[in-house]
Structure 1
């Protein structure tokens, strides 16, 4: 074989590997995918793959580099600038596997030790700058940098939500949100109310004796740390038992499987979040919404580990076969419905700014909050989740509120 022909063949094989990895990461997630699976999908042997990529992390870096392309493409001179974002969202939605891949990789990159943390952090900074430039050119916002952070966050949050609540159209919701900001965009369909879901049943039964309850709590603390750092697929029961300083058999006495342990961790996180919120039933909706901002502020300062757990797992669980997929689907449906109902109650009292749709605001609020938590996970210094949420809420509520 000619040297040039050998090089071309090697490059074709490399491209096949990257395409296979991109497809498998999108379908199953990075942590659930092995190099052997990727090799099989690419039609080569495992040793053959290793001649091109020495590790899964090496391959992941290439996939992330290719994903980090320009977010928007400028339209013609007559195209409204804010319409560019909607057009980009439509391209993303029409590209098979893009949303699944991007959302899943965000969870992989959260921890500072992740091989792609720095690349994704740089991508976020670049995205905010690019969006701010467009917003400044459009002359639509007094603070383009802050609005760019919110818009990028809501966009990411909408993409993630759409993987759990498929009736959410990211381009339509983005267009509606931009129109509410006063942007000139193509007309979008109204955002429908997201139906709530039945809450999940409690996982396991706490031990009756104090020693048993303490041991169960030890296991949940260890599992929370392990899942936040390595995700569900990357953490083993043996490692969790070692962190908890118990035997694996003792762990399995309290939780019969890793799946059961994961769901118990998520339910405990919800209980901790509810305790942190501390909003009594019957509280007026404006107070509930403002209380949510305070919860975000306290999460940043006091609950960084729980934020990392949440963003890691909700991104990883977007894969339909993940054991926590159903949990997050229920959580998104119920949370969006709850905030939508709160905004609807505010609107009924005349407290919502003119032109605001309460069900869009409920969806946008959840997407914005989750997206900001992702941004904060990559850049604690530049992203103030609570302040950005507060500014958005002040704009949504009428001045009298």
Structure 2
């Protein structure tokens, strides 16, 4: 869901600070750490030169975004490390036949077919559902909260938590092991805006060494953003990667369009659907050492092939359930997947940090003329509506995953 206009300015300023001029020298993103490049050692000789370049050019770093930080020779990729030491050397496999096996904790869908049955098609599959944002009392702070003409308060974080709870039951009934990354309103991180305030102060001072001192309101906005948009996602990634260790993460979101006049919100016309996989890194983003290392892990562990397959199937299921047309990006921050009008590659913090396959879903435009009346009716109903948007969303995901299973090798 997109942010109300009142938060856009502060967030744009924060984003601008994250992408400084290209220097490739010891840069890390907000709350990030300099990578241990030896973690790439397990991927030595697992990928041919041709396949490495194909993944870079078509999905992960199109339009030559990688050329400033990666040098490809016939034998290896030389990767800038952001230190004074020599570049990290990733040796290519001589051929697909001689390539070393790719180490990973998660299993591909086709690897689980032997455990499945017609009644329990998802047996053996561990799926984590990640309801986006925080919801509850945090909805207004994170800019995912609004109402129209005295109607009920609509919050993306609460809506997608309801979808996750319904979807969990449906998937479990079909044999899946299902974990919720967030099972109640509120943050996953133990940090607070108050505990992050020194980081906000340090960031502001670093970015404005000769400028005026920040106002208390400036620091509060920055602390809030570090809390709900950075620290909380990093905490979710740690939970996913180190504790849950699923085969797949599905990030549940609902889109929205910016109100032309936030002071007098009115319903809008657009209504659409799209799904996101990790990709489309820019040269500026890759100037960060941690981003560069995280992209390479996603590229090398082949989570992208599963993400593309799952995203296409789930998008098809949601399109059938909702009748929504595909959303199209017009900027350079996303790249379309060939032959998949609903699926785009885009670099987001969560789909970069989650090391297993992860698919972001963005169906509906919550503040549209078609969707808001449904959300209003659902919010005012004493019981869940069997034909409501929450049920439709969850069932669309299930139908998409069933399509994926039915199309197995």
Instruction: State the TM-score, normalized to the length of structure 2.
Output: 0.28
Structure that is richer in strand per residue: 2
Larger radius of gyration: 1
Instruction: State the TM-score, normalized to the length of structure 1.
Output: 0.29
Structure that is richer in helix per residue: 1
